[in-house]
Amino acid sequence: MYENLEIVRWPDPRLKRPSTEVEKFDSRLRLLATRMLELMREAKGVGLAAPQVGINIRMFVMNPTGQEQDDRVYVNPVLTEGDGEEEADEGCLSLPGIYIPVPRFRTLRMQAKDLDGNPIDQVESGYLARIWQHETDHLNGVLLTDRMGALAKLANRKKLKELEEEYARAHPELAAAASKKKSSPRLLRK
């Protein structure tokens, strides 16, 4: 069912759409989570949100250690009670080769559901809290590109241009429409 799923890359517009709540906890959801965990492992990542495979639902998978017993799936996550702050470099499977410093809460509480619809209520700090925040950003249509300051944009402009060109080659019809939007005439103000 989800064998053909792959990780979508920036500037795919699906990455910018806010995701919808999951209402149905069934075998399809479980199969999607299994495939996402496979893709995450193949790409040597620690987290993968559903929008990153082109499905805009509020679910992400993660594994901070790479050990199969540490696989985690969070459905409809809500982050609260952020405390402290720390900055660290982050990368993204949808923006390969780009790493930027991102300030995040050090400690957070997450309330979510598991694949059976059972409640999850956890508090974590450090690396786990950072992964939660990064993946939840994806569910809200927020990417590392949105967190880049002027210097990071400048430092990564070549790689971003390469990703845009790669996307245009793979999706000429979408790239043409986006290009048309960019070049539409603007009204000048007097």
Give the residue numbers annotated as catalytic, written as ranges: 135
> What residues contact 80, with CB distance under 8 A and at least 6 apart?
108, 109, 110, 111
Q: Count of residues for the chain?
A: 190
What interhelical angle do 157-170 and 172-183 show, nearest 10?
Answer: 120
> What residues contact 17, with CB distance under 8 A and at least 6 apart?
51, 56, 141
- Does residue 59 contact residue 50 with C-beta atoms inside 8 Å? yes
Which DSSP string do the residues of 85-149 spell out, in sequence order? EEEEEE--TTSTT--EEEEEEEEEEEEEE-TTS-EEEEEEETHHHHHHHHHHHHHTT--HHHH--
Task: Extract the tokens encoding 56.
Answer: 């805009």
Task: Extract the tokens encoding 120.
Answer: 């999850």
**Which secondary structure element, helix H or strand E, spans residue 61, and what is its range?**
strand 59-62
